[in-house]
Amino acid sequence: MDRPPFTPGLVAGLRNLATPSASVPRSGSSGTNGQDRLLARKPRWRRYLPWAVVTLAAGVAGIWLLSSVKGGNVYRAPLSQITLGTVEEGPFEDYAAVRGTVAPLITDYLTTDQGGTVKQVLVEDGARVKVGEPLIVLSNPALQLQVAAQQLTFEQTRFKYQQDILNIEHQISTLRANLARDKILLDGNAIAPSTYRQEQEEYEYNLELRAATIASRDVEQRVRATQLTGDATGKADIANAGVEALTIRAPMDGQLTALDAEVGQSKTAGAVLGQVNSADRFKLSAQVDEFYLGRVGVGQETRFNIDNHDYRGHVSKVYPQITGGTFKADFYFDGAVPTGIHVGQAVDLKVELGGPKRALMLPNGPFYQDTGGNWVFVVTPDGRSAVRRNVRLGRRNADYVEVADGLKPGERVIISGYEAFKNIERIEFEKPDDKNP
């Protein structure tokens, strides 16, 4: 027998039968059959329990789905965006790989002590120069007047010394004649011995005064001549003194670079007008990661390759100041300097920190900067995920990191960056054929 269709009307009728109404008289009231009784209402918790169970299940499922995609302790990542490295045992070369540049061995800067206006530029930037060669001529009228005033004072002082010495010489000559005359009188008892001793003391005083005045004159002339011309002999005249003070000369043989002087420019005292680099003598300068600051020292050997030729050098100077996570170091060539190199040329260097030693190694990668070598993600045996593991890594070079503890040969490790995985415990790999739910 067919059942009647389940319609909304039927549901409403059933609900009216199950729910007591205020219009239905209670048992025992007039107009009501004594056999009729009210149906009891279901408790509220029983009516809402199924809905609460469904809502809770949906929430748990949503949280699980979100955490399985990204967040929490699990991260799903495409395998194509991850780089893996295998732990292996072999000879570990302890070196620091740095990028250096060719620099001149010696650099002398061209500065002006007095300042002035650029009058002439006698050479071009990049030219080879010889020591003492004039490079730049400055004009400073105020300096010229100052030097002229000093020269006038010098001449006046020199004239005064000459006059003082002439007076002393005259006094000495007079006293000498008086002593010769009074010696005869003294022998004849014509004068008292005290008178003769007084004249003799005055004569000796003038001799000492002449010697002191001459010495003072010589010192004065030497000092003033040096101040005026830079020449201890004082032979240069005022015009040459002004030119020498304002002419910038090459401090050594080399190449003029970084020339900063054009006719008409005003330069203050101490301004740098350029520099002269040693032309055929070079060194290498490099910025080294601060990780190696305590391990790079003067004298350590360095290997590098230029134009497919191997060369060796050594650390000549270490600058301990840290700037931007690096420190500076200079390197000298051992033996002949490579031919054809030029200032600014880039060179890859290997600074040897120790001899090769057999060790457990892991390929180097960006992960080290994110973990400091304290933990890594190790691929599970089934190859479908990677789990976080605490490890202890030691020395490292450009190719490998030494494994001190926590890993075994043959294990695979994620060596790409960990920036997105720092709070993750497990990474599940997504292959290209995986389908997202």
At residue 46, the pLDDT reads 61
Tell me how far CA of residue 261 lies from CA of 110, 235, 265, 273, 336, in angstroms.
11, 31, 7, 6, 36
The answer as to whether 410 is a domain residue is yes
Q: Which uninterrupted H or E stretch holds 164?
A: helix 141-187
pLDDT classification of 226: cutoffs 50, 70, 90: low
CA dihedral 134, 138, 140, 146 (to 10 degrees): -20
What is the span of the domain harbouring residue 387?
Answer: 74-92+358-430
∠ CA 7-10-11, nearest 5°, is 90
pLDDT of 14 > 70? The answer is: no
Question: Does the pLDDT at position 225 exceed 90?
Answer: no
Question: What pLDDT digit, counting tens, does each position of 378-431 carry?
Answer: 999 999 999 999 999 988 888 899 999 999 999 999 999 998 888 899 999 987
CA-to-CA distance for 306 and 316, rounded, in angstroms?
20
State the DSSP code for 38. Answer: P
Q: How many domains does the chain have?
A: 2
Residue 277 lies in a domain: no
Q: Which residue has the higher pLDDT, 308 or 415?
A: 415
- Is 27 part of a structural domain of the chain? no
The confidence score (pLDDT) of residue 240 equals: 54
Which segment, 28-42, 60-74, 277-291, is predicted with the most confidence on average?
277-291
Contact 252, 276 (CB under 8 A): yes
Does the pLDDT of residue 268 top 80, yes or no? yes
* End-of-domain residue from the set 216, 248, 280: 248
Q: Is residue 150 part of a domain?
A: yes
Q: Report percent pLDDT > 70 for the chain.
A: 77
β-partners of residue 357 are: 92
For the entire predicted model, the pTM comes to 0.52
* Final residue in a domain of this structure, among 222, 248, 274: 248
**Angle 141-187/238-246 helices, nearest 10 degrees?**
130
Q: Given 221, 248, 275, which residue is the final one in a domain?
A: 248
Q: What is the chain's mean pLDDT, rounded?
A: 81
Least trusted range by pLDDT, from 18-27, 31-40, 225-234: 18-27
Q: For residues 86 and 413, give the distance between their C-alpha atoms in angstroms, rounded to a whole number.
A: 6
How far lies 183's CA from each of 111, 193, 205, 411, in Å? Answer: 68, 10, 19, 119
CA 198/CA 201 separation, integer angstroms: 5
Assess whether pLDDT exceeds 90 at residue 222: no
Band of residue 246 on the pLDDT scale cut at 50, 70, 90? confident
- Complete edge-to-edge strand list for the sheet that includes strand 74-78: 74-78, 426-430, 385-390, 375-379, 412-414, 84-86
Q: Which residues pair with 401 in a beta bridge?
A: 362, 396
User: DSSP characters for 93-162?
Assistant: EEEEEEEEEEEES-EEEEE-SS-EEEEEE-S-TT-EE-TT-EEEEEE-HHHHHHHHHHHHHHHHHHHHHH
- CA gyration radius for the chain? 50
Q: Average pLDDT of 295-303?
A: 92
Structural tokens at position 14? 């059933």
- Joined together, the tokens standing for residue 385 give 């995920």
Judged against a pLDDT cut of 70, whether residue 176 lies above it is answered with: yes
Is it the case that residue 33 has pLDDT exceeding 70?
no
280: pLDDT strictly greater than 80: yes
Are 178 and 242 contained in the same domain?
Answer: yes
CATH number of 411's domain: 2.40.420.20
Nearest to 414 by CA among 69, 424, 404, 358: 424
Q: Is residue 381 part of a domain?
A: yes
Co-location of 84 and 144 in the same domain: no
What confidence tens digit (pLDDT) does each residue in 36-81 have?
Answer: 555 555 566 566 666 666 667 665 544 544 444 444 488 898 888 8
Look at residue 10 and tell me whether its pLDDT is greater than 50.
no
237 vs 308, residue with greater confidence: 308
Residue 371 lies in a domain: yes
Tens digits of per-residue pLDDT, 198-220?
989 999 999 999 999 898 888 87
Query: 288 falls in which pLDDT band (50, 70, 90)?
Result: very high
Of 7 and 337, the structure prediction assigns the larger pLDDT to: 337
Q: Give the pLDDT of residue 355.
A: 79
Inside any domain, residue 306: no
Provide, for the chain, the percentages of residues in helix, strand and coil under a 3-state DSSP scheme, each rounded to the nearest 5: 30, 35, 35
Q: Is residue 238 part of a domain?
A: yes
The model's pLDDT over 83-135, given as tens digits with 9 standing for 90+, comes to: 999 999 999 988 888 999 999 999 999 998 778 899 999 999 999 999 999 99
Cα–Cα nearest to 429, from 26, 73, 78: 78
Q: Which residues contact 245 (CB under 8 A, 6 or more apart)?
A: 113, 114, 140, 143, 147, 230
